[in-house]
Amino acid sequence: KLLNLSAGLSKQEVLAVMGTKTIRADDGTVVTNPYRTEMYRAKGSVFELLLYYTDIQKSDGAITDDELTPIVIKDEEVDGWGWSYWNNVIQKYEIRVR
């Protein structure tokens, strides 16, 4: 589904492409997507991070960040996705993350 994303999509379009359904992973873990959302403000922009459960690393029932893919929404439009992209945004905008 990530291949169907493009810069400039709205949050609603992302939700339509990626889905919002509860899924059952191969190990039986039940996950609602997006799994988690986070909001940040920096340099006059608002960033919303939609974290989707995309990849089981370990069948232990725990969901870790390496099993999630962030979709970065800047000022209500998709700006990019993936951890490398998000880490670049953090540096560029000097965002303080938990």
- 59-87 confidence digits (pLDDT tens): 777 788 999 999 999 999 999 999 999 99
Phi, psi of 57 (to 5 degrees): -100, -35
Which has more pLDDT, 79 or 29? 79
Phi, psi of 60 (to 5 degrees): -125, 5
CA distance 50 to 40: 12
Mean pLDDT rounded to a whole number for the chain: 92
Q: Residue 18: which of 60, 52, 65 has the closest Cα?
A: 52
Question: In the structure, what pLDDT confidence band is assigned to residue 57 with cuts at 50, 70 and 90?
Answer: confident
The model's pTM is 0.90
